[in-house]
Structure 1
């Protein structure tokens, strides 16, 4: 047995929680675990041991992207089996990444990071998101809800939690393609402002404001939330944006929200949360969300209270995000003929791995999604029960 194969055979011994068949580059195959293989992993060539030792997550992710590794069966099952084994490499960040998560996300760097992911093109996202172009966790009142219905449910749930009143001013930090601010203006007659760092999103929102004749109630700006000066709002919401802020800027985020909220103003934060402070994954950080950091709930509450904000409510939507990602992954596969017209196979495999690994991560409980409600000052006008959120 050559040295490379001996290294791999030892590596795969205790890697997965489910039985799997590994086929090596020379045609040899070995079954790991007891019972019928749940999936097959085919290694067309060895990955340098130095790359695996330095950063296994990045090494295997890149090998899948460029076709050195093939998976027969579900990509999600493979990743989830790794996550379910708490001794696997997916639960261990390399030392260099533990240092990198403290790198600063200033205004310029934040703009670059956001545009890297969101300015791939509206045409690309339109192929696999729902018709509202909502790119965040949906809310399934029933598991049978369609994706578009679940996204509308989510928007309505957020707006109810904010307890909106006609004529109030609402700010959406990281407004995406605008569904929330447009819905808020139409249904609650509030004056809604959206901000984004994505030029593609900004253009789309501008077009929607014009098409839906909402110029009197809705505006959008292409800028960083820290650049919005001398304005106050009754309500501030942020959906799927905080993950881009970075660990060392969490306090700055809450201090900025506190500054922008009027007296007794209410804010809702909808964000992915972690179980510990590892914060990110090296492959995700390099190829999907550069500069990202996933905070814990306790971190967020500490920062809120340090800024004098009052914390009211938290709700986990972890299972809802698993179902959302299942829809996105299915839509992505169905749209492959159109995607291949403008993207190469490496890009396609990268996004397949991202969507399926995210679904696996939520389903296994490795990460979560929370909505956190808080206010500036003790808001005594909020209902004493949660009934108003679900009427």
Structure 2
């Protein structure tokens, strides 16, 4: 036991001895503490077990995440501060796999399997509408908000994001609009209810279809809005085309091998001259998704770079008209979600165990740190299929309209 302790301390000294830009404490199981870095400690890593040597090997987010979920390690302070300091010192990536290589999945990934995609979506989104309802806003909008002021509530930010997105499309009454990856239907409902559009949403999540369908019925929008449990490729094969298309937070689930295929289907779903808005998380550098995130949170996921998407868009008959980076907004969104999640933990524990709570807590704080440290961003790209129809010369109409948006959640 003593030998293991000596090995652990040496390993920590070798790994953390040159940490800069912040400081932290490691508290061993026997209460002994060591401080690494410079300045006042930001957080304390509490070791609940002597078996922690795995923390300093391999992909550190994978090893730390596993130990944290199992309760072998605890953190006093903000997990996001730990992740940020690790990123700054090159000890960890919140986005990419650091050391692992895989041979089988890339080969399998070349072939699309709707069964596999539905299973991946269910892993995250079919946990239960009651769970997401505990900490998301009332509309269950599960994507980056749009904060006009730092004091905006998450309800205001989500409504403003939806409004901002639909106004970029210059959506008009009776136009048809498709939402690819519609979630719980907040964009579809807003498009039908406030813009008078004929809105269709598609998703592969059973829970989201149930929640979105109930919301449409409760608002008596059945004649203007509908949602379907359907893949975008299957819909494209039906031959239906839309005046406008929006996709918010879905491209991250497509996979690197299928980005071009998704853009092909987008072209087939959009009428000539129509506008499409793509809203998605982007990685600053290209690489495979972190192993802990893929295993526990988003199996099959891939975060593309902006250039990967733009290259595939411009390979088709698309013209790029607007690109906006909303990265600061997503960090604020994640911080709101984290606070609401922590307030809901007692209710979450009525349905799930402590390991589940720790997994989601870490996921939200890892994501916040990733945006803080600039490993990821989130972009909105407005494109037209060929020459656009009646696109204004400037963006002035967007912001005149947004100044009149009521600050209330739906």
TM-score by length of 1: 0.95
Over 3 Å counting, the alpha-carbon distance change for 1:320 and 1:44 in structure 2 is: same
SS at match of 2:57: helix
Say which of 85, 88, 94 aligns to 2:89.
85
**Residue 100 (structure 2) pairs with residue 95 (structure 1):** yes
List gaps (5 residues or longer) in structure 2.
401-410
**Residue 183 (structure 2) pairs with residue 176 (structure 1):** yes
- Bigger drift between 151-160 and 33-42 goes to 33-42
The whole-number CA distance in structure 1 between the counterparts of 2:65 and 2:155 is: 31
- Bigger drift between 374-383 and 248-257 goes to 374-383
In the TM superposition, residue 370 of structure 1 has moved relative to its aligned partner by 0.5
1:13 matched residue in structure 2: 17
| Structure 1 vs Structure 2 CA RMSD | 1.8
**Residue 358 (structure 2) pairs with residue 349 (structure 1):** yes
Cα pair 2:179 2:245 within 8 Å, conserved: yes
In the TM superposition, residue 388 of structure 1 has moved relative to its aligned partner by 1.9
Cα pair 1:209 1:215 within 8 Å, conserved: yes
Say which of 135, 145, 150 aligns to 2:142.
135
The whole-number CA distance in structure 1 between the counterparts of 2:345 and 2:100 is: 37
**Residue 68 (structure 2) pairs with residue 64 (structure 1):** yes
- Bigger drift between 82-91 and 190-199 goes to 82-91
SS at match of 1:194: strand
Cα pair 2:92 2:98 within 8 Å, conserved: no
- Bigger drift between 154-163 and 40-49 goes to 40-49
The Cα offsets for residues 160-212 of structure 1, whole Å up to 9 and x where unpaired, read as 00011111110000000101011101111111000011101101111111111
The whole-number CA distance in structure 1 between the counterparts of 2:30 and 2:140 is: 46
1:384 matched residue in structure 2: 393
The whole-number CA distance in structure 1 between the counterparts of 2:106 and 2:170 is: 35
The whole-number CA distance in structure 2 between the counterparts of 1:12 and 1:353 is: 21
In the TM superposition, residue 380 of structure 1 has moved relative to its aligned partner by 5.0
SS at match of 2:41: coil
The whole-number CA distance in structure 2 between the counterparts of 1:334 and 1:203 is: 26
In the TM superposition, residue 381 of structure 1 has moved relative to its aligned partner by 1.6
1:213 matched residue in structure 2: 220
The whole-number CA distance in structure 1 between the counterparts of 2:34 and 2:143 is: 40
Cα pair 2:83 2:92 within 8 Å, conserved: no
Over 3 Å counting, the alpha-carbon distance change for 1:102 and 1:28 in structure 2 is: farther
How many corresponding residue pairs?
391
The whole-number CA distance in structure 2 between the counterparts of 1:365 and 1:22 is: 26
2:260 matched residue in structure 1: 251
The residue correspondences of 1:293-312 to structure 2 (distance < 5 A) are: 293-312=302-321
Cα pair 1:47 1:63 within 8 Å, conserved: no
The residue correspondences of 1:96-245 to structure 2 (distance < 5 A) are: 96=101, 100=105, 103-104=108-109, 105-228=112-235, 229-245=238-254
The whole-number CA distance in structure 1 between the counterparts of 2:353 and 2:80 is: 21
Cα pair 1:15 1:88 within 8 Å, conserved: no
Over 3 Å counting, the alpha-carbon distance change for 1:380 and 1:262 in structure 2 is: closer
Over 3 Å counting, the alpha-carbon distance change for 1:377 and 1:141 in structure 2 is: same
- Bigger drift between 49-58 and 104-113 goes to 49-58
Over 3 Å counting, the alpha-carbon distance change for 1:216 and 1:295 in structure 2 is: same
Cα pair 1:139 1:151 within 8 Å, conserved: yes
Cα pair 1:159 1:184 within 8 Å, conserved: yes
SS at match of 2:223: coil
TM-score by length of 2: 0.91
The whole-number CA distance in structure 2 between the counterparts of 1:131 and 1:359 is: 22
In the TM superposition, residue 81 of structure 1 has moved relative to its aligned partner by 1.3
SS at match of 1:259: helix
The whole-number CA distance in structure 2 between the counterparts of 1:169 and 1:92 is: 41
Cα pair 1:314 1:372 within 8 Å, conserved: yes
In the TM superposition, residue 15 of structure 1 has moved relative to its aligned partner by 5.0
The whole-number CA distance in structure 1 between the counterparts of 2:381 and 2:116 is: 26
Say which of 312, 316, 337 aligns to 1:328.
337
2:347 matched residue in structure 1: 338
- Bigger drift between 139-148 and 86-95 goes to 86-95
